[in-house]
Amino acid sequence: MPNAAAGTDKMADALDQAALLEELRPRLHRLAVHLVGRQHADDGLQEALTAIHRALPGFRGESAPATFCHRIAVRTLVRWRQRLAATTSGARAETDPDELADQRDGPLATLTREEQRRRVQAELARLPAPYRDALVLRSLDGMSYQEIADTLDVPLGTIKSRIAAGSALLAERLRPLEEA
């Protein structure tokens, strides 16, 4: 009988893991789009989900399961991006503006907003990776500074300076957009 009980526990754990990964999938996909680009997001996400699946048995409960999974995903996606850069030009795909447009506005307002979003995405993609990673995790994923530091395995002060420097650089690059 002990084998049947152990088998049932393993099945329950597997179902819990599957539910957790399914719950996190949309958030992780958005993260992948921002870290590796739309063109490679699905492949990067699959790589991240595989890494999470392999790491979950080692989860010790020192953080929330979602934080643990997110940390693994970020590290996996950053490595994925580095491999892409080594094998390609490292160019990132821009966000598809059709997905971002609010259909309630008129065509001119939608076009202007799409143009602004494309520009912001392009400038964000041009930022050095350490700045971009910290900004994406803070602004687009809503992580705290401490969560970002833990996720990227970087001191808290470094994260704060990367976010400040990245924000300033992004603002400087977008200033001509505001003046237009």
Phi-psi region of 64 (alpha: psi -120 to 50; beta: other; left: phi over 0): beta
Which segments of 56-64 does DSSP mark as H helices, in order? none
Q: Is the pLDDT of residue 91 over 70?
A: no
3-state secondary structure of 93: coil
> Which domains can be identified in the chain, with CATH numbers?
1-93 (1.10.1740.10)
Residues 136-170 have pLDDT tens digits of 888 877 788 998 888 888 999 999 999 999 999 98
Task: Take residue 73 and report the two structure tokens written for it.
Answer: 């995903």
Q: Indicate the pTM of the whole model.
A: 0.58
Task: Take residue 82 and report the two structure tokens written for it.
Answer: 């580095």
Q: Tell me the C-alpha distance between 30 and 52, whole Å.
A: 16
